[in-house]
Structure 1
Amino acid sequence: MAYLLGILIPLFFLYLVHLLEIYAASRHEVLGLSIGWGILVFSIAYAFNRFILNQNLTTVEGLSLVVAPILEESLKSALLIVLMRRLILRYAADGMAYGFAIGIGFAMVENLVYVVNNPDTGMQLAMTRSLSTSLVHGFTTAIVGTIAGASLPFPNRTRVNRFLFSLLIVIVIHASFNFVVKNLSGAELLLTALGMGLGSVVLIIIIMRWTLERESKAIYLELAGVLSAGELVATRNPEMVAQLLAQHRGAIGEDRTHLIQRYVTLQAQRGILRKNIALSRNAKLVETLNRQLQSTEQQLDVLRGSMGLYTWIWLRSVLPSEESSLWLQLDNRLNTEQPQLARLIQLNEHQVLVPHAELEQRKRILRQGALFNGLADEDLVDLALLLTVREFHVGDEVIHQGEKSDQLFITAVGKLVVSVLDDQHQQTIITAFGLGDAFGDMEILDSEPSTVTVTCLEDVTLYVLTRDDLITLLFAKPQVALEMMRVLSQRLRHQTALTMWVQRTASTTA
């Protein structure tokens, strides 16, 4: 149990620090690498410390106050140099997260060694060290990481000087902690060590919050002219977005929840990259940052397509409205330059409260029929949101031969028959419609009277799309029009081939 405590308590505090980094610039794989580096550093430092003690090259006191602080802090911080040079470490908060992870990796193995060497007091020792020494190890490297991240836009000489200065500070902190621990005992030692350990966590939280506040202002300055007001609010306040997503998860679905979170995170990272580019005077650094920015913007483009219009409408409906003047400007511009797209957005806003389960059912039914099953998922969502639901009873005529119709129908529940009335007033059934089948498409497109009658064989539920809404969708999304043309063309080819076969059969019989 003592071994587990020596590992789990430090990992809990690392998880806490990672959660505080709300812009999620710190990557999980790099956090894992940082923990691994901390473990490796302990192994090297432990072997070196034992060697110089065995060779009488230093005293225990000299090791504790001089050699160990210099060696351990220098080795722990070495990975931060690599991360900074490779631009994996982008700003102060992710530098803090990576630095804390290195210190925690070091501390976990150190805890295990102390527990193994002191089995009689293992549980108490694991608890005490996890809440004191472990946190100080994380704190010192986190300070170096914070300063390294904040120094990214500066010239190389300035970055090196700031890094060395931060390293000197944490070496002094480390040595001071060792001095205090060495010269105290009993309850006084316990309380002081715990106070320094937990106090270091409080300082990390304060510094992290201050850093994130500065980054939030930078994101606003860099993206205010790029994003809409609602997107900007979301990007600066990912915690608020997370709360909204938790409240509306059932309405928008698990997949879209992850897409929105990823989108907000990438926008924040985009703002941080733009800030670093604007501040940097190093041409090589700017070139590398521009490549990262381009990659981030490409990922955002892919996400926008994956999210679809429904998600944008949801975001617009739930984000704060105090900056809605920019939305109004966007509406006016859309109405002027792309009126059909503006109309589509307005139509979707009326339907935004369609539950996620209902939306998924509509999509599934639309996929059953030939007319729309080739549409991309985001286009299918936009179509599904425009549908209204109508109920018909057995024997009802949905379309009557000789009458015009301005509606397209899709069968959601039930069966219908299609019949033709000939000159002798004889009714001939020619086909039937079931789940997902669409009808009324020819009437809605050419505005001519229907040549058939469609009657309910049983109680029926239909999805209905009006001509105006269909035309709006086709103008706003030409790919939907192309897909419908493809299906109707195939239908015409089939009809032509059937007619030719009938003619050949008739001539052969004659």
Structure 2
Amino acid sequence: MDGTLLVKALMALSPVVLLLMLFDRLDVFNVIRMRTILALLGAGGAIAAFSFIANWRVMDGFPIGMGNYSRYVAPVVEETLKAAPLLWLFFHNRIGFKLDAAIAGFAIGAGFSVIENLWYLFTLPDTNVSAWLVRGFGTAVMHGGATALFAIISHEMTERQAEASAATYRFNPLLFLPGLGVAIVVHSAFNHLGGQPLLAMAATLLLIPATLFLTFARNDRAARQWLKTDQARHIQLLADIRAGHFADTDAGHALTALAAKLPTQRASALMQHAELNIEMVLRAEELILAAQEGGSVAITDADREKLQRL
């Protein structure tokens, strides 16, 4: 690989990957592990390869010219394909906070753009450097951002339904249509600026990261409030257990009914397990809150002993 091609490769591939790494660092809870992010990158890459085939097949049925196809049809095909892994994650309840949804979506889009740009690098190696500047800082970031927006909006829609009817919540594919629509519109709008690539790149660099950073800031506040509320609930629950009031609660009734079916020794162990489990959850919440606020709490031998008992 000569020096010029290396520069082109760096411009085409590095911006979206660096942004993904930055977004991952903003995830204080680290719910999405690195191996999951790598898997999502791989999924995005596989979707890019499949989309080449899908686009050529679909294009045969739309004799509208390459320009119109890229503006109106390709965004529908590609954003629908990129949404598929996220639908799987939502279906299996693998996404917690909006930040996790955004990172997952951006990772899929990043993987898609990396494979797409690699393909063009090796098929169009003589394209000038400015074109790769636009593809790296514009097209690639657009792919990541569009899928991240789909994930964020879908999270909002499903979260609202869960809050409204948590007891009867069911996976509803219709809730994902608004997010998919936004992703398609963003992708199509970018492709409409094909004759003004620098404007497309500037708009993408301004709007996509800004939108995601605002989402991350909102998510951080919401997650912190949720954690503090959950911590207060666990503190009260532990106090009820130690004061002997736990048996009067709904959870206490259920646990007591279960314990009644067990031998005395195992029933006692069950109640001890419940108390110890809450203690460890509270300890974990303390550690997470300390990390969020920039502090640190040492894990003690007592913590290790309790974990071993658990």
With structure 1 as the length reference, what TM-score do the two structures score? Answer: 0.44
Q: CA deviation at 1:307?
A: 9.4
Who is 1:18 aligned against?
A: 24
Change in 2 beyond 3 A, CA 1:122/1:240: farther
Match of 2:41 among 12, 22, 35: 35
Q: Which amino acid aligns with 1:63?
A: Y
5+ residue gaps in structure 2?
1-5, 236-278
- Residues in 2 aligned to 1:97 and 1:306: alpha-carbon distance in whole angstroms: 35
Q: Give 3-state SS (helix, strand or coil) of 1:22's partner.
A: coil
5+ residue gaps in structure 1?
246-251, 261-301, 309-375, 377-510
- Residues in 1 aligned to 2:225 and 2:31: alpha-carbon distance in whole angstroms: 16
Alpha-carbon contact 2:190-2:200 (below 8 Å) kept: no
Counterparts of residues 414-433 of structure 1 (less than 5 Å): none
Alpha-carbon contact 1:133-1:197 (below 8 Å) kept: no
Q: CA deviation at 1:175?
A: 0.8
Match of 1:162 among 172, 175, 179: 175
**Structure with greater contact order relative to length (CA < 8 Å, sep ≥ 6):** 2
Q: CA deviation at 1:209?
A: 1.1
Larger CA Rg, structure 1 vs 2: 1
Q: CA deviation at 1:240?
A: 3.0
Who is 2:86 aligned against?
A: 80
- Residues in 2 aligned to 1:113 and 1:58: alpha-carbon distance in whole angstroms: 24
Who is 1:212 aligned against?
A: 220
Change in 2 beyond 3 A, CA 1:238/1:52: same
Match of 2:210 among 191, 202, 205: 202
Change in 2 beyond 3 A, CA 1:170/1:108: same
Who is 2:288 aligned against?
A: 235
Q: CA deviation at 1:58?
A: 4.0
- Residues in 2 aligned to 1:149 and 1:197: alpha-carbon distance in whole angstroms: 23
Matched, 1:119 2:118: no
Who is 2:193 aligned against?
A: 180
Change in 2 beyond 3 A, CA 1:215/1:117: same
Change in 2 beyond 3 A, CA 1:108/1:307: farther
Who is 1:137 aligned against?
A: 143
Q: CA deviation at 1:195?
A: 2.7
Q: CA deviation at 1:138?
A: 0.8
RMSD, aligned α-carbons: 3.1
Higher helix residue share: 2
- Residues in 1 aligned to 2:113 and 2:17: alpha-carbon distance in whole angstroms: 10
Percent identity, aligned pairs only?
Answer: 22
Q: Which amino acid aligns with 1:111?
A: N
Change in 2 beyond 3 A, CA 1:237/1:170: farther
Q: Give 3-state SS (helix, strand or coil) of 1:36's partner.
A: helix
With structure 2 as the length reference, what TM-score do the two structures score? Answer: 0.70
- Residues in 2 aligned to 1:303 and 1:135: alpha-carbon distance in whole angstroms: 47
- Residues in 2 aligned to 1:171 and 1:157: alpha-carbon distance in whole angstroms: 25
Counterparts of residues 85-96 of structure 1 (less than 5 Å): 85-96=91-102
Change in 2 beyond 3 A, CA 1:123/1:135: same
- Residues in 2 aligned to 1:197 and 1:306: alpha-carbon distance in whole angstroms: 50
Who is 2:54 aligned against?
A: 48
Moved over 6 A (4+): 228-231
- For each residue in 1:460-509, what CA deviation from the matched residue of structure 2 results, as whole angstroms up to 9, or x when unmatched? xxxxxxxxxxxxxxxxxxxxxxxxxxxxxxxxxxxxxxxxxxxxxxxxxx
Q: Give 3-state SS (helix, strand or coil) of 1:226's partner.
A: helix
- Residues in 2 aligned to 1:86 and 1:104: alpha-carbon distance in whole angstroms: 22
Alpha-carbon contact 1:14-1:101 (below 8 Å) kept: yes
